[in-house]
Amino acid sequence: MTLQTDELAYSHRQLRHLVAERLRAAILEGKFQPGEWLRQERLAQELGVSQMPVREALKELAAEGLIEHVPYRGVRVIAFSADDVADLYAHRAFLESQAARAAARNITAEELAELRRLQAEMQRNLAPHQVAEYRQLNRRFHQIIYTASRRDYLIRTLNQMWETFPTMLIGNFALTAVQPLPARDDLDTVEHMAIIAALEAGDADQAETLVRQHIETTGRQLVATLQQVG
């Protein structure tokens, strides 16, 4: 995880962001486990920097919801529960469905073509060992839709959510970190195609309903899967 760089070559702000980026990536990739304590001194040594940029980077990650400060104990990686999964999917379903309603009125032919291309690519990455590629394509699919809303606040909010969620949320649980949800991929294909059709038709009501149902269904299946092994 070492930055392998001369600390003096960067401004204070640049170094803080570099450290934050490196720590964020390590958390999202599962190199730091849910509930694991992050010690400033050890992180500074591993990154080859002083403790100050590490301390400020940790504040940035706490503001994003990746880590939490525990009084008198330190900083640890957030650990999600099944209830958190349900709450986060409900939040995302509401915001993305509102964005889809606006997108139905604003999406371009180029964006629709990209959605169709991504969906075709997802169908070529359905094997269990391709789950990482599939999730990246799926993330891009959803990003195109909410970006097409042209609603700046929604776009900023959803971009921030997708930085850590559902990537980190899924990775929080060993069962779903490296394998797809049971029977979810086939449903994804059907639901994605219906969403594209609604957007192409400019049907705002249908686009909103389909996106909300799509995300709520995924959330319910994820929660049910986690509860079965909990």
pLDDT tens across the length of the chain (230 residues):
666 555 545 677 789 999 999 998 888 777 888 889 999 999 999 999 999 999 999 999 998 878 999 999 999 998 878 888 888 899 999 999 999 999 999 999 999 999 999 999 999 988 777 777 888 899 999 999 999 999 999 999 999 888 766 555 655 655 555 556 655 657 888 999 999 999 999 999 999 999 999 999 988 888 887 777 55
3-state secondary structure of 203: coil
Which among 144, 174, 180, 138 is positioned nearest to 159, based on CA atoms? Answer: 144
Q: Give me the residue spans of the domains in the chain.
A: 7-77, 82-229
User: Whole-prediction pTM value?
Assistant: 0.75
Q: Is 7-77 a CATH 3.40.50.720 domain?
A: no
Percent of the chain with pLDDT over 90: 53
Per CATH, the architecture of 82-229 is what? Answer: Up-down Bundle (1.20)
> What tens digit of pLDDT does each residue of 80-117 get?
788 888 888 999 999 999 999 999 999 999 999 999 99
